[in-house]
Amino acid sequence: LTAQIEPVQPHSVHTLVFRSLKRTHDMFLSDRDCLPAPDPTADKVRQAVKARDQFGPVLHMQSSAKTARPAAGKQAAIAAAPAGSDGADSNSALIPASAASAASQPASSADPGSAAASAAAANTASVQVGEERMLVPKRAPLMPKPDWHPPWKLYRVISGHTGWVRCVAVDPLNRYFVTGAADRLIKIWDLASGTLKLSLTGHISTVRGLQVSDRHPFLFSCSEDKTVRCWDLEENKVVRHYHGHLSAVYGLTLHPTLDLLVTCGRDATARLWDMRTKLCIHTLAGHSSTVAAVASQSAEPQLVTGSHDCTVRLWDIAAGKSLVTLTNHKKSVRALAIHPTQFTFATGAPDNIKQWKFPDGQFLQNFSGHNAIVNALALNEDGVLVSGADNGSLHMWDWRTGSCFQRHTSPVQPGSIDSEAGIFALAFDRSGSRLITAEADKTVKIYKEDETATEETHPVNWRPGLLKKARY
């Protein structure tokens, strides 16, 4: 036998070691964290051998597994629910395979192998740890595919104010919108044409908050001169003053169903006013710094406030106490927006814009990427969240997935310097198709969706894991 010995190729030790290392790596890397997949035939063979060895003489008798199955079924019914969930919640308990399989296929055979295979097809993966085989929920995809929204474009610029335009409010019937500015004027503009209809004077300092009531012909305004005024729009004059704030009033909101007015200000309180009697019903104390934003809704909790002490509070207005304090933000919360149809809301701060769920303020997700002082948030019924920042940038986000589909900075009006770019307030009109922006270059800009854009012309820029967004 002359074995044809191939001459050994001379290699350095380094090469040999490296090659062997690489081979090992290739062979085992994919299986690194996984235990070997259960091989049902091998298991069966092993079990059969052992059974014959141990219980050979009695195997012909009826096994206890069949008698014990109804009991197992009862157990499964109790612990069934989270088996099929696709949540990324790692706190969910590991479910024994037998129970899960019994839940999914109670009538079929109690063969654990087949049950595991079927369950693996769902959102769970079957993992063998020792003797027990468990179902572990697979991790949810990092970024679900966002919905397509048409991009927004500027189509009208309205100048008329001689100071920063600080707040916007829209008429409930969508005929006009109102703006308040640092020139102490409140101007009423026609929404369709953008022409000025009326200027109201009376405030002695910057007008910071405006709201038009849907049930009365009233316009409410609050200002840095500590006053809150109620203007009668039929007579165009002030009919009520709400006295009580100790310092500048920064935000104002009307309760949708009750005749209540809520204002918040620099004295770290939010005040609840009875519209008719001008009394301060509750002084909601609890924040330790300026309360910058306030929003109200008809369901519990009826009031949300955001403050410069980086917290968001949800209040019970009947008792005048805060229900929940959310401390997830690291920087001042200046903007709030409640979703019109969903039971969710968003808060904006320079570190992140966060999405939350009512009624407990459960954190949902981050809209990260707008690294600027967010002064205003506005939410659409189509699921478009717009955030406006102090440097004049507008980011449009998809509400459901948290992805930003448009970043826009409009140029300042001619005559302004570049540092005068800034957005102080945002409002969607009642139809949700026009976005009104109150800016620091003393203009009001109106945006609308681009009708000519389609999914092909402006495709969604998305890839799973494209944007490393802040997880919490």
Partner 1 sequence: MSLTKLIPSPTQRLSERSTPAAANAASAADKPLVAVQSAAPPYGHRRGWTPRRQEDFGDGGAFPEIHSRQYPLGMGQPQSASSGPTLPMTLGADGRVNFDAVVRQGQRADKVVHSKFSDLLPKPIDEDDPSFQRPDEESIKDLTEKTRDALQRLVESKAAASNPVRSAERTGPAQFIRYTPSQQGAGYNSGSAQRIVRMVEAQKDPMEPPRFRISKKVPRGPPSPPATVMHSPPRKVTSKEQADWKIPPCVSNWKNPKGYTIPLDKRVAADGRGLQGVHVNEKFVMLAEALHTAEVKSREAVSMRAKVASRMQQAQREKHEETLQQIASRARGERAGLAPAAEAAEAAAEARERDAIRRERAEQRAHERNRKGGGGANDRDRDISEQIALGRPALQRNQQDPEAAFDSRLFNQDAGLASGFHAGEDEIYNVYDQPWRANASSAGHLYRPTKGLEEGASADEELGRLASGTGRFVPDRRFEGTGGGAGGSRRDGPVQFEKQVEEDPFGLDDLFDKVKRSETVGTGSKRPASGHRDEGGSGRKRDRRD
Residue ranges in contact with partner 1 by CB under 8 A: 43, 47, 50-51, 54-55, 58-59, 61-65, 67-68, 87-91, 93, 112, 131, 140, 144, 257-258, 260, 272, 274, 277, 279, 281-282, 286, 298-300, 302, 311, 317-319, 322-330, 341-344, 355, 357, 360-366, 399-400, 471-472
Please report how close the Cβ of residue 202 comes to partner 1 at its closest, in angstroms.
Answer: 26
Q: Which is nearer to partner 1, 208 or 282 (CB)?
A: 282
Q: CA quadruple 318, 320, 321, 324: dihedral positive or negative?
A: positive
Q: Indicate the pairing of strand 423-428 with strand 404-409.
A: unpaired
Q: Which is nearer to partner 1, 16 or 35 (CB)?
A: 35
3-state SS string for 109-143: CCCHHHHHHHHHHCCEEEEEECCEEEEEECCCCCC
Please report how close the Cβ of residue 396 comes to partner 1 at its closest, in angstroms.
Answer: 18
Please report how close the Cβ of residue 279 comes to partner 1 at its closest, in angstroms.
Answer: 5
Q: Which is nearer to partner 1, 197 or 321 (CB)?
A: 321
Widest distance between CA atoms in the chain: 117
Q: Which is nearer to partner 1, 112 or 388 (CB)?
A: 112
Q: Which letter does DSSP use for residue 49 in this model?
A: H
Please report how close the Cβ of residue 411 comes to partner 1 at its closest, in angstroms.
Answer: 27
Cα 450 from Cα 456, distance rounded (Å): 13
Please report how close the Cβ of residue 472 comes to partner 1 at its closest, in angstroms.
Answer: 4
Cα 331 from Cα 327, distance rounded (Å): 10
Contact 209, 216 (CB under 8 A): no
Q: Which is nearer to partner 1, 50 or 175 (CB)?
A: 50
Q: Which is nearer to partner 1, 43 or 225 (CB)?
A: 43
Q: For residue 229, is it left (φ>0), alpha (ψ between -120 and 50) or beta?
A: beta
- Name residue, tokens 């019937």: 173
Please report how close the Cβ of residue 361 comes to partner 1 at its closest, in angstroms.
Answer: 7
Q: Which is nearer to partner 1, 9 or 62 (CB)?
A: 62
Q: Which is nearer to partner 1, 194 or 320 (CB)?
A: 320
Q: Which of 271, 251, 178 is nearest to 218 (CA)?
A: 178
Q: Which is nearer to partner 1, 322 or 380 (CB)?
A: 322
Please report how close the Cβ of residue 460 comes to partner 1 at its closest, in angstroms.
Answer: 18
Q: Which is nearer to partner 1, 152 or 399 (CB)?
A: 399
Q: Which is nearer to partner 1, 198 or 364 (CB)?
A: 364
Residues 6+ apart with CB under 8 A from 32: none
Cα 436 from Cα 168, distance rounded (Å): 8
Q: Which is nearer to partner 1, 198 or 470 (CB)?
A: 470
Cα 249 from Cα 229, distance rounded (Å): 11
Please report how close the Cβ of residue 70 comes to partner 1 at its closest, in angstroms.
Answer: 14
Residues 6+ apart with CB under 8 A from 233: 212, 217, 218, 219
Please report how close the Cβ of residue 301 comes to partner 1 at its closest, in angstroms.
Answer: 10
Contact 265, 290 (CB under 8 A): yes
Q: Which letter does DSSP use for residue 28 in this model?
A: H
Q: CA quadruple 464, 467, 471, 472: dihedral positive or negative?
A: negative
Please report how close the Cβ of residue 260 comes to partner 1 at its closest, in angstroms.
Answer: 7
CA 84 to chain centre: 24
Please report how close the Cβ of residue 93 comes to partner 1 at its closest, in angstroms.
Answer: 7
Cα 144 from Cα 379, distance rounded (Å): 20
Contact 207, 263 (CB under 8 A): no
Contact 279, 263 (CB under 8 A): no
- Name residue, tokens 């849907």: 214
Check whether the bond before 70 is cis (ω within 30° of 0). no
Please report how close the Cβ of residue 328 comes to partner 1 at its closest, in angstroms.
Answer: 5
Tokens, residue 419: 């540092």
CB atoms within 10 A of CB 39: 11
